[in-house]
């Protein structure tokens, strides 16, 4: 199967690193025209320079996804420069932890403004251009926690669920305009965050022990890589996916309901490690 994306005009948000950068690089390697944005001007400029080596053309801008006018200006600039937009990859927005005892309503609203409203702003800005050509693909990068609620991380659970629901709703509403919208729900794709999680462990825990604990709930037995996401993104942007809309696709190595056991597994693991450390010092 040959997927030809060489004529596509693609916007990828949050493309300075991780999954967003990997997807943008994959489109660039296919010869697409790629417009990328992120909050950090230095970081997105560096990523854009890498993409420029392969892409047919590149537009690079620092954009704050909470700035509605800034989002519109960026999308309109791309559409004007290239005569339209074919693909939007809504990737910007990170997870956020917290529970009923540690969060304020404002914490959740702040996260929502970045995540679900950021996705909404870009979609609202790009759809008029796609409607004119009666063709478009919108790919939402979401998280498994949005489809299977976990007992921790309330902002991510609530706001990712909203993003998945938005994707399904738009996937039904916009299909009549030739615009297909689908959600890719990430499991544990390692973009560096597991290094931070490991640093939270007691000092006597090895990296091997930590990863063995984490991966107990991942049937495939390893972390995903950003490159594990790119193939599905390219497929959904192609004509091979012309009858797929409002779909919710998990990229999680077989992990589903197992994710709900992880908070308890982690607490028990940390407690056991602390007890082991205490015994070794007695």
Q: Model confidence over 126-168: pLDDT tens digits?
A: 999 999 999 999 999 999 999 999 888 899 999 999 999 999 9
pLDDT score recorded for residue 113: 95
Beta pairing class for 248-251 and 179-186: parallel
pLDDT of residue 277: 78
Q: Measure the CA–CA gap between 94 and 192, rounded to whole angstroms.
A: 12
Comparison of pLDDT for 20 and 193, the residue scoring more: 20
Q: Reduce the DSSP state of residue 223 to 3 states and report it.
A: coil
Return left, alpha or beta for 254; rule: phi > 0 is left, psi -120 to 50 is alpha, else beta: left
Q: All domains of the chain, ordered by start, with CATH? A: 9-189+224-251 (3.40.50.720), 192-223+256-282 (no CATH)
DSSP 252: S
| Mean pLDDT (the chain, rounded) | 94
Residues 68 and 51: beta-carbon distance below 8 Å: no
> Percent of the chain scored above 90 by pLDDT?
87
DSSP characters for 181-218? Answer: EEEEEE-SB-SSHHHHHHHTS-TT--HHHHHHHHGGG-
Q: What is the pTM of this model?
A: 0.94
Per-residue confidence (pLDDT) for residue 193, from 0 to 100: 86
Average pLDDT value for residue range 176-194: 95
Q: Among residues 183, 186, 181, which one has the least CA distance to residue 156?
A: 186
- Candidates 111, 97, 92, 115; CA nearest to 200 is 97
Question: What's the confidence (pLDDT) of residue 119?
Answer: 97
Residue 1, pLDDT score: 64
d(CA 263, CA 234): 33
pLDDT digits (tens, 9 = 90+) for 71-112: 999 999 999 999 999 999 999 988 888 888 899 999 999 999
Euclidean distance between CA atoms 254 and 268, whole angstroms: 23
């Amino acid at each position: 199967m040959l997927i030809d994306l060489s004529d596509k005009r693609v916007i990828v948000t949050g493309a300075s690193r991780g999954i967003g950068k990997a997807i943008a690089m994959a489109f660039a390697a296919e010869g697409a025209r790629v417009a990328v944005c992120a909050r950090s001007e230095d970081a997105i400029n560096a990523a854009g320079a890498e993409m420029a080596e392969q892409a047919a053309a590149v537009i690079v801008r620092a954009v704050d996804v909470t700035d509605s006018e800034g989002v519109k200006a960026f999308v309109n600039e791309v559409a004007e420069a290239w005569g339209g937009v074919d693909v939007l990859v809504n990737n910007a927005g990170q997870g956020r932890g917290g529970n009923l005892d540690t969060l304020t309503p404002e914490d959740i609203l702040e996260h929502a403004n970045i995540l679900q409203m950021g996705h909404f702003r870009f979609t609202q800005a790009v759809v008029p251009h796609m409607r004119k050509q009666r063709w478009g693909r919108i790919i939402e990068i979401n998280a498994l926690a949005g489809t299977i609620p976990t007992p921790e991380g309330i902002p991510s659970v609530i706001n990712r669920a909203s993003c998945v629901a938005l994707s399904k709703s738009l996937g039904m509403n916009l299909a009549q305009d030739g615009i297909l919208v689908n959600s890719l729900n990430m499991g544990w794709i390692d973009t560096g965050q597991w290094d931070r999680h490991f640093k939270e462990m007691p000092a006597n825990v090895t990296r091997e022990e930590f990863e063995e604990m984490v991966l107990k709930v991942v049937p495939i037995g390893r972390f995903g890589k950003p490159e594990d996401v790119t193939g599905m993104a390219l497929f959904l942007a192609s004509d091979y996916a012309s009858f797929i809309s409002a779909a919710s696709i998990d990229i999680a190595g077989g992990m589903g309901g197992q994710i709900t056991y992880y908070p308890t597994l982690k607490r028990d693991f940390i407690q056991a490690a602390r007890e082991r450390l205490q015994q070794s010092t007695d």
